[in-house]
Structure 1
Amino acid sequence: MLASMTSTAAAKAPLDLPVDGTELATYIAAKLCHDFISPSGAIVSGLDLMRDPTAQDMREDALSLIEQSARKMVSLVHFARVAFGAATTSERFNARELQSLVAAMTEGGRASLDWRIAEGEFSKPQARALINLAYLTVGALPMGGNAVIQSHVEGGALVFEGFAEGARARLKPEAVTGLAGERLTEGLAGQWIQPYWLWLTVVQAGGTLQTTVEEGRVSLVAKMPL
């Protein structure tokens, strides 16, 4: 039996936002710390191995661990600067550099990334929405599948679409709550904050975000002003 869920979240007045300001910053800071601790800890472990005189036979393994972890840390920082922050002084981002950010973050996972965004430039809010939407689309395929990311212009709006198709395509309940622009009442805040941040990015730009979950398929559709 096909189980489905569709929700559309649109802009609310600023005072109606369930989470904002200091509380929002706290959640984002906690997520970033959680993301950074694994590769940074691995780098320290690798350095400890290299200093250990009884583990010199593992020197190559230690160097490999340090290199992989350092690359992961750099990818995380570059992604976070655009996805959660003001990024660089650049006011616009091209599709190719945004694809690189998402690809670096999802490399090594079971899902494949099918990037169909035509070459062009995007404003900071558009770029922020696109890479968060793409990352969450790939994340909806923990057991593998195909994540299609595409865009088009419709009725004076820029539409970003993410389609995750796979046998175990799903969104965690916390993610569904965040994508609907709702406050988390139970579950893990770390699973909720990025979906909520995507919703907030879209609606504060004057757009809408629609989420559909069906058996074997998840879709995220963001419409933003040009």
Structure 2
Amino acid sequence: MTSSPPIADLPVASLPVDGAELAAFIAAKLCHDFISPAGAVMSGLDLLDDPSAQDMRDDALGLIRQSAAKMVALVHFARVAFGAATSSEQFSGAELHSLLTGLTDGGRATLDWRVGEEVFTKLQARALLNLAYLTVGALPMGGAATVAVRREGGQLILIGSAEGARARLKAEALTGLKGERLTEGLAGQWIQPYWLWLTACDAGGRLETTVEDGRVALIARLPLAD
């Protein structure tokens, strides 16, 4: 198991990515995520405009409808997971569950959301949403993802557990979850785990990662306000 120190304990020179560089990585990831459904919408529109493909009109409309829904789900997720561009100051567990399932429904992994009627601040919601997404993402071949929350000893503890035959985290993700700069590999696989680490550390908390055969666990410990 690895555990990240609070960001306040780290010398400024050791902080790997911040400011404009961090924004550039996040913007690149969002563009990567958005381009697939946006391109599918354009493909559907091209089919509608093609006189020789009118027999595929229903398929084209279905593609447009599905891809537009995916794009909307991505936007709603990104507003909470990567920023604060929302009028809400607090989020219920049900709201966060809806944001997550809008992206993960239809995948190979099942999600057991054990959050209940908790209410979260923006920072807590950001941490929980990213932790939950990465937990589900650790099961590319399917399995059971469990997300739970508890309050203990003045801390809000966010727990993600992924169990499956091929449960894993890519090397880039492990680098990000430790708060380290990426020196090789794909930045798109690194930035969201790094963002989760930074979110936890900005809250004065810690992020713990455990990778075992058939199991991945992510635990964020965030101090509760007095």
Q: How far apart, in 2, do the equivalents of 1:21 and 1:175 lie?
A: 20
TM-score (norm 2): 0.96
Structure 1 stretches lacking a partner, 5+ long: 1-5
Q: Does 2:26 align with 1:8?
A: no
What is the root-mean-square deviation in Å for CA atoms of aligned residues?
Answer: 0.8
Q: For 1:89-147, what per-residue CA distance to the aligned partner results, in whole angstroms no more than 9, with x for missing partners?
A: 21110110000001111111100010000212100000000000000000000000000
* Displacement after TM superposition at 1:87 (Å): 3.3
Give percent identity, aligned residues only: 70
Q: Name the structure 2 match of 1:147.
A: 145
Deviation at 1:71, TM superposition (A): 0.2
Segments of 4+ moved more than 6 angstroms = none
SS at match of 2:220: strand
Secondary structure of the residue aligned to 1:150 is strand
Hey, what's the Cα distance between the residues in 2 that align with 1:147 and 1:10? 26
Given the alignment of the two structures, is residue 201 of structure 1 paired with residue 196 of structure 2, yes or no?
A: no
Does the CA-based 8 Å contact 2:7-2:204 persist in structure 1?
A: no
Equivalent in 17, 42, 65 of residue 44 of structure 1: 42
> Secondary structure of 2:124's partner?
helix
Q: Which residue of 1 aligns with 2:60?
A: 62
Equivalent position of 2:89 in the other structure: 91
| CA–CA distance in structure 2, aligned partners of residues 128 and 53 of structure 1 | 46
Note if 1:192 corresponds to 2:187. no
Q: How big is the shift at 1:184?
A: 0.4
Letter in 1 for 2:208: Q
Q: How does 1:68-83 map to 2 (within 5 A)?
A: 68-83=66-81
- TM-score normalised over the length of structure 1: 0.96
Residues in 2 aligned to 1:129 and 1:87: alpha-carbon distance in whole angstroms: 15
Question: How many aligned positions are there?
Answer: 221
Q: Flag structure 2 segments of 5+ consecutive residues without an equivalent.
A: none
